[in-house]
Amino acid sequence: MEQKKIALVLNGGGSLGAVQAGVLYALMKAGQRFDMIAGSSVGALNGAFLGLIRRCRVLKA
């Protein structure tokens, strides 16, 4: 059986960036993993930062 993939999709909208950052922090603390990250505007920035943080942790380990 094929394992399901989990995608995180973040939208844009200026002030939503701060809200997204809080939610992303909570998801990271809970150990949630994503196979794909997509976003537009500020969501793309938050997604890029999340991907960078995850990548740095993998390289550090």
Q: How far apart are CA 5 and CA 35, in angstroms?
A: 6
Contacts of 51-57 with C-beta under 8 Å, sequence gap 24+, read 53/28
Helices 16-29 and 42-60 meet at what angle, rounded to 10?
Answer: 30
For 7-48, how does the pLDDT look when each residue is reduced to its tens digit (9 = 90+)? 999 998 888 888 888 888 898 889 888 899 999 999 999 999
pTM for the full predicted model: 0.75
Contact 12, 43 (CB under 8 A): yes
Contact 10, 39 (CB under 8 A): yes
